[in-house]
Amino acid sequence: MGHPFRARLGANENGFGPSPKVIQAMAEAAGEVWMYGDPESHDLRAALAREHGVGIDNVMVGEGIDSLLGLIARLYIQKDTPVVTSLGGYPTFNYHVAGFGGRLVTVPYDGVRENLDGLAKAAAREQAPLVYLANPDNPTGTWWEASDIQRFIEKLPETSLLILDEAYCETAPSSALPPFDTSRTNVVRLRTFSKAYALAGLRCGYAIGEAETVRAFDKIRNHFGMPRITQAACLAALEDKDYLAATVAKIKACREKIAGIATAQGLNSIPSATNFVAIDCGSKAMAEAIMQGLLERSIFVRKPGTPGLDHYIRVSVGPDEEIARFEKAFGEAVTTVRNQA
């Protein structure tokens, strides 16, 4: 476009920014960047283990959830290996599956939520070694309760590894997150510092699971892939719980603001447990036209492309000034599209 967006609300980043203590930790670590980062990420893994009440051997750190998904695909997928996921779910996982020659087995959403029964049946039918589920979900923002997730896990074949992507866990109800059970060899849970902690640009995610399952990452991971500054920043982020709580409150308030903006234009939105809101535009054509209208006004949002979900646009939360720009541009775009109908 030749110029910056006036509001960047399409990548599900955290525009409220990281804790000042994180920025200070990064500054203090900057002079040591001539050294490689700790290849074991020992201190960060130990802190994460304490945070979640698991052993350090149950934790593996990687360059964001996307990187961890790629490692899992490399570990488990051969040519034509069946991999179960939702039709319209997180697309980056699909790229990894395709890149290693796997065969995607997709299950349509049940309304606006991933279909747990359908995923479990597909895993059993295909004897799939991998099943992917995001809770809370991207792109809808919906969630399942922990009891539902637990029943889903019980239904899966023991030979199917569930990849439970919990990137948005900090903004979800606590009732959506099952307790960690690191005795299970067929569940690995993925979390990130990219969302609530506002460190997307530092690329740090982590996996929690049974020790042998987690240790398998050591066979193929980039052992020096986690920079010193990233490790220092994530440690500081974990320690500043007051800032995290304040940020989560801002995210919740902004979700409500975005939902209200949609309502003011006569449109509905999906209740969200993430840092974005999916707005129902009524049809695929309407959603595409509104999104294009926003882009023409330098407001960056995204929309799902899968039938059944393609009548939504997805709007990330952000600072007040960016949401105000979105509100004005959204109203103008909706009015223009309706007048042209």
pLDDT at 71 over 90: yes
> Is the sign of the CA dihedral 115, 121, 126, 128 positive or negative?
positive
Residues 331 and 234 reside in one and the same domain:
no
Residues 165 and 224 reside in one and the same domain:
yes
| pLDDT bracket for residue 341 (50, 70, 90) | confident
Residues 118 and 251 reside in one and the same domain:
no
Question: E strands along the chain, which residues?
Answer: 7-8, 59-62, 82-87, 103-108, 130-134, 161-165, 187-192, 205-209, 268-269, 276-280, 299-300, 312-316
Domain boundary among 190, 205, 239: 239
Residues 169 and 254 reside in one and the same domain:
no
Q: Is residue 93 part of a domain?
A: yes
How confident is the model at residue 103, as a pLDDT? 98
What's the pLDDT tens digit per position in 83-108? 999 999 999 999 999 999 999 999 99
How confident is the model at residue 319, as a pLDDT? 97
Q: Is residue 167 part of a domain?
A: yes
Other beta carbons within 10 angstroms of residue 150's beta carbon come to: 14
| 0.75 surpassed by pTM | yes
CATH of the domain at 220: 3.40.640.10
What's the pLDDT tens digit per position in 171-228? 999 999 999 999 999 999 999 999 999 999 999 999 999 999 999 999 999 999 999 9
Q: Which amino acid is at 17?
A: G
Domain boundary among 239, 264, 295: 239
Residues 228 and 253 reside in one and the same domain:
no
How confident is the model at residue 256, as a pLDDT? 98
Q: Which two tokens stand for residue 204?
A: 């740090």
Q: Is residue 2 part of a domain?
A: no
Residues 191 and 228 reside in one and the same domain:
yes
Averaged over 311-335, what is the pLDDT?
A: 98
Residues 192 and 310 reside in one and the same domain:
no
Q: Which domain holds residue 137?
A: 20-239
Q: Is residue 1 part of a domain?
A: no
Percent of the chain with pLDDT over 70: 100
| pLDDT bracket for residue 64 (50, 70, 90) | very high
Total domain count for the chain?
Answer: 2
CATH of the domain at 267: 3.90.1150.10
Residues 95 and 207 reside in one and the same domain:
yes
pLDDT at 78 over 90: yes
Residues 11 and 95 reside in one and the same domain:
no
Q: Is residue 111 part of a domain?
A: yes
Residues 126 and 251 reside in one and the same domain:
no
Averaged over 63-82, what is the pLDDT?
A: 97
pLDDT, averaged across the chain = 97
Nearby residues of 50 by Cβ (< 8 Å), 6 or more positions away: none
Domain boundary among 207, 239, 271: 239
**Cα 281 to Cα 283: distance, rounded to the nearest angstrom:** 6
Averaged over 247-255, what is the pLDDT?
A: 98
Residues 207 and 326 reside in one and the same domain:
no
Q: Is residue 67 part of a domain?
A: yes
What's the pLDDT tens digit per position in 5-18? 999 999 999 999 99
Residues 144 and 235 reside in one and the same domain:
yes
How confident is the model at residue 1, as a pLDDT? 78
